[in-house]
Structure 1
């Protein structure tokens, strides 16, 4: 028997009579957490929401004609406090229940019942306390049985799915599991929520997962309420458990806690297995780099599906240590969803191999996680090592700027000399040009800028003179003087190329 007003009214030995039938039958089934008795004009400081009150009406005085105003204010205070029912004891102060009290309770929708003189308040309170105790014992028994059922479900072949399904049955509501990408992985019952609700839960789950810490979040949708609970430990979240209810009592929370622990354990075991697979992937990456794609193709096909079709491009991505697990989990999901779409492994960087005509996985990783990435040219698997080296080189250039993808092909189109500015050739270039720079500093000349302008103008003196605003003979004299200081013949192509390479190798913005 539940501790509700209906259960008290159904007790024939109490002889209670409902005076204000309500338009909402569910109001009689509202749990009554406790029953108090008080004749104070304002007992609300001593009451909490969910309780019922018993009174003899002493606070309304002994006059048979009870005024409406104080009664209205009294009932209003009780309703605002969250009192769920009011019981009036008759034949103690007055015969029957005052009409103004009946009218006020009816107007506020507060259930009012009459307690006859033969029934003591302590009997009513004791009956409710017994029902509350029976409810608590029943819920504790249910919690133990539910946790046992959940534990047995966890031992089935699909332990994770069986655990989620059992929780749904025990709570009699929809339960879903969202993976590390925020995608709904499984749910019970399958069609328990709308598409809009699913999108909203996914968006909120992504927000929780990006926070990286264990957390719980109530979510209100257009049609219901949900509770989201992260799974896994802080910094290594494994997913989100979604339950189609926002209010759980203590026994219910204990069952959910047990499921969270079991689901977290199952996901942790999956993570350990994923680490073992990661080591295998790294070994396969090494074999690909050594020119042995046949064994890699056979192994990968048995475990994950075929390798991406040739020609392929290799991406090297710079992933922070605290992000690696999350990114790898995401890639595992992509591989499961589309076998043969990509192959990946973690070594000195995260390497992702994709078909040359479909770099979507690389683009999505960079966009979602703000990563630096380098992307190789398209090659057959026989040239995988070359593609890997290209990706690493392009990644190095990407690290020099904003996050995003740098393609090796773009580096190649810049030319060999342009690459010098991104190497350690700067100190050598500065030492090579030092005779000119030092002479300009000591003598106040402009030989360094003149030589650079002369090379930029294809070594034509007339054009150089116009750019510098000097006579052509002055430009020629300066260049010849520079050649003597450098100890090199600037009439030779090799010398000119060497000097130009020195200018290119120096950092951008170097001033002369």
Structure 2
């Protein structure tokens, strides 16, 4: 499965989308929503959407592409879902109007077999409404992220203005990271540290910090 070309916006947990009462989406198959995130929304009625997917999408379809002669003995749905998962699609939303009254059972089975989350989109919910909800959730997550970054910067600036700036900054940084922070000199000698002592990964952590300051 290809890695999605992740956009510069926070992903949307599928649980957040399912929690929107105005959308009334219902998951019919696939892994738990807690394990799924959405990076994009794309609508397509192509029988093979693979060439048009970047990965990480919630793909929306009303099933216009499904042949009328499709029966339980055909592999149409299995092939269709296999191509979505091969492209890295995150989930499939199937609209039950205006073409289909219900989600085809063969599609449910195919999504379950390939581990692709399948969402039922009710008649009253438009695809544009689903897309708008995703962008709204992304915007809220982005705003919350910017607030956290701003608060962290202000906190570090305040710590740096204290009489003991080095331990103050390291202590605040370790608190923000939920771990430990260290300051190394030009020769790679540790000058100060703060936070919980590292465990068995000390060597790896020290090498990482050395790399950050440009020590070979």
For the pair 1:199 / 2:203, whether they are aligned, the reply is yes
2:29 aligned residue (20, 29, 33): 20
CA contact (8 A) 1:68 1:100 kept: no
1:10 match = 19
CA contact (8 A) 1:9 1:16 kept: yes
CA RMSD of aligned residues (A): 2.7
**How does 1:332-351 map onto structure 2 within 5 Å?**
none
Give the superposition deviation at 1:18. 0.8
With structure 1 as the length reference, what TM-score do the two structures score? 0.37
Taking the aligned partners of 1:71 and 1:51, their CA distance within structure 2 comes to 19
CA contact (8 A) 1:176 1:186 kept: yes
Give the superposition deviation at 1:183. 5.0
2:7 match = none
Give the superposition deviation at 1:186. 4.3
1:71 aligned residue (60, 73, 77): 77
Taking the aligned partners of 1:188 and 1:106, their CA distance within structure 2 comes to 48
1:46 aligned residue (44, 52, 60): 52
Taking the aligned partners of 1:114 and 1:188, their CA distance within structure 2 comes to 50
Relative contact order (C-alpha < 8 Å, sep 6+): which is higher? 2
**How does 1:460-475 map onto structure 2 within 5 Å?**
none
Taking the aligned partners of 2:20 and 2:209, their CA distance within structure 1 comes to 48
CA contact (8 A) 2:92 2:118 kept: yes
User: What do the CA deviations read for 1:272-295 (whole angstroms, capped 9, x no partner)?
Assistant: xxxxxxxxxxxxxxxxxxxxxxxx
1:141 match = 147
1:110 match = 116
For the pair shown, the structure with the greater C-alpha radius of gyration is 1
CA contact (8 A) 2:23 2:125 kept: yes
Give the superposition deviation at 1:106. 1.6
Taking the aligned partners of 1:160 and 1:128, their CA distance within structure 2 comes to 42
Taking the aligned partners of 1:98 and 1:125, their CA distance within structure 2 comes to 23
Give the superposition deviation at 1:96. 1.2
Give the superposition deviation at 1:14. 0.9
Taking the aligned partners of 1:59 and 1:165, their CA distance within structure 2 comes to 58
**How does 1:126-137 map onto structure 2 within 5 Å?**
126-137=132-143
CA contact (8 A) 1:48 1:82 kept: yes
Structure 1 residues 180, 80: CA separation in 2 closer, same or farther (over 3 Å shift)?
farther
Structure 1 residues 101, 199: CA separation in 2 closer, same or farther (over 3 Å shift)?
same
Give the superposition deviation at 1:119. 0.9
With structure 2 as the length reference, what TM-score do the two structures score? 0.81
Moved over 4 A (4+): 183-188, 203-206
Taking the aligned partners of 1:174 and 1:42, their CA distance within structure 2 comes to 49
Taking the aligned partners of 2:125 and 2:29, their CA distance within structure 1 comes to 20
Structure 1 residues 163, 204: CA separation in 2 closer, same or farther (over 3 Å shift)?
closer
Give the superposition deviation at 1:20. 1.5
1:91 match = 97
Consecutive unaligned residues in structure 1, runs of 5 or more: 209-228, 231-236, 241-512
The structure whose residues are more often helix, as a share, is 1
Taking the aligned partners of 1:183 and 1:104, their CA distance within structure 2 comes to 58
Consecutive unaligned residues in structure 2, runs of 5 or more: 1-10
CA contact (8 A) 1:19 1:102 kept: yes
Taking the aligned partners of 1:175 and 1:51, their CA distance within structure 2 comes to 37
Structure 1 residues 17, 141: CA separation in 2 closer, same or farther (over 3 Å shift)?
same
**How does 1:13-412 map onto structure 2 within 5 Å?**
13-20=22-29, 22=31, 24=32, 26-28=34-36, 30=37, 32-63=38-69, 65=71, 69-182=75-188, 185-191=191-197, 193-195=198-200, 197-203=201-207, 208=211, 229-230=212-213, 237=214
Give the superposition deviation at 1:46. 2.6
Taking the aligned partners of 1:183 and 1:203, their CA distance within structure 2 comes to 12
CA contact (8 A) 2:12 2:134 kept: yes
Give the superposition deviation at 1:118. 1.4
Taking the aligned partners of 2:106 and 2:157, their CA distance within structure 1 comes to 57
Structure 1 residues 87, 25: CA separation in 2 closer, same or farther (over 3 Å shift)?
closer
Taking the aligned partners of 1:151 and 1:118, their CA distance within structure 2 comes to 50
Structure 1 residues 186, 43: CA separation in 2 closer, same or farther (over 3 Å shift)?
farther
